[in-house]
Amino acid sequence: MKTEEAIIYSYGFATIASAIPAYAKRGDIVFVDRAACFAIQKGLQASRSDIKLFEHNDMADLERLLREQEVEDHKNPRKARVTRRFIIAEGLYMNTGTICPLPELVKLKYKYKARIFLEESLSFGVLGEHGRGVTEHFGINIDDIDLISANMENSLASIGGFCCGRSFVIDHQRLSGQGYCFSASLPPLLAAAAIEALNIMEENPGVFAVLKEKCRHIHSALQGISGLRVVGEALSPAFHLQLEESTGSREQDVKLLQEIVSQCMDRGIALTRARYLEREERCLPPPSIRVVVTVEQTEEELEKAASTIKEVAQAVLL
């Protein structure tokens, strides 16, 4: 990642959920995307900070909130001097399959004197020429980001997670990161597996171009399914299929999507319905089927998956 230092957690979910409250405290202000994943939400809850939600990837809405806070700061400059401001975003959003507009985020960071925390669990090992994530994808200087977090349970096929950044930022977590202080170390076997995965990524950077092409292929192949719409970027290996029109009942929508998942499974295509803790989610996403592409899948397998999903969706929804 070309940062000064990194810290390893033994549980992926706990990585960002511990990193946020290690820095953001009561009285601080956190600006966060409404589509943020559940781990970020739990970290915000533990921080007890003042949370301000902006519309998904809407930089105009974020700047509106930042301007409003700037006005409040002018009213009470003594309080403003001790109030820290954080912007938290995902590189590639798990709940939407969309990429964050990082260049605009960085501009707002410097304009309004905020810190950026970037959760890259889905974008690490996917975006960028060498898989370093959304910073490499946009050509952003890594030092412009205050903290980068990612789990090792996606691209690295292991367990745990890591945070990286400047040395003084990472060192703080060794005493303040709850998931680091109050947990055992990552088992050596899983650490070795993650290291080997990193070695493969470094030795074969061509896999990232292959993955992007396969993502574009399946994304294009799934367009035009009657009753379903594709939600997510063409570069994302994880995206969603949502109903074009809701039945008006979330429960009924879920049943229809689950029937598609079950019939696809019977025909040898493994999908999963996106599941959420509905009573816990701050902004509950609409029901959807999550589709995940891997670099090892062949073109024939992707074609079979796309045709099967189309046939099953038409049978269930028409």
**Residue ranges of the domains in the chain?**
5-202, 206-317
One-letter identity of residue 217: H
In DSSP terms, 33 is beta-bridged to 54
Helix (H) or strand (E) holding 137: helix 134-138
Task: Select from 54, 47, 58 the least CA-distant residue to 22.
Answer: 47
Residues 6+ away with beta carbon under 8 Å from 44: 20, 24, 30, 32, 51, 88
Task: Select from 289, 303, 288 the least CA-distant residue to 218.
Answer: 303
User: Tokens 């999903």 sit at which residue?
Assistant: 309
- Over residues 251-257, the mean pLDDT reads 97
At 184 the pLDDT is: 86
- Over residues 51-64, the mean pLDDT reads 98
Could you confirm whether domain 5-202 is CATH 3.40.50.300? Answer: no
Q: What is the pLDDT of residues 135-186, one digit of tens each?
A: 999 999 999 999 999 999 999 999 999 999 999 999 999 889 998 988 888 9
Q: What is the pLDDT of residues 66-120, one digit of tens each?
A: 999 999 999 999 999 999 999 999 999 999 999 999 999 999 999 999 999 999 9
Residues 6+ away with beta carbon under 8 Å from 59: 101, 104, 105, 108
2 pLDDT band, cuts 50/70/90, is confident
In DSSP terms, 86 is beta-bridged to 30, 115
What tokens were used for 146? Answer: 């205050």
pLDDT above 90: residue 230:
yes
Q: What are phi and psi of 28, to 5 degrees?
A: -80, 165
223 pLDDT band, cuts 50/70/90, is very high
Instruction: Round to whole Å and give the CA distance between 300 and 37.
Output: 32
At 316 the pLDDT is: 94
Given a contact cutoff of 8 angstroms between Cβ atoms, the answer to whether 288 and 257 are in contact is: yes
Residues 6+ away with beta carbon under 8 Å from 225: 241, 309, 310, 313, 314
Q: DSSP label at 286? A: P
- Over residues 201-228, the mean pLDDT reads 94
Burial 219-258 (b: 16+ CB within 10 A, else e): bebbeebeebebbbbebbbbbbbbbeeeeeeeeebbebbe
At 165 the pLDDT is: 94
Residues 6+ away with beta carbon under 8 Å from 100: 33, 57, 89, 90, 91, 92, 93, 118, 134
- Over residues 248-265, the mean pLDDT reads 96
Burial 263-275 (b: 16+ CB within 10 A, else e): bbeeeebebebbe
Instruction: Round to whole Å and give the CA distance between 176 and 153.
Output: 23
Angle at the Cα of 88 from the Cα atoms of 123 and 145, rounded to 5 degrees = 70
Percent of the chain with pLDDT over 70: 100
At 275 the pLDDT is: 95
At 182 the pLDDT is: 87
pLDDT above 90: residue 15:
yes
pLDDT above 90: residue 231:
yes
Q: What is the CATH number of domain 206-317?
A: 3.90.1150.10
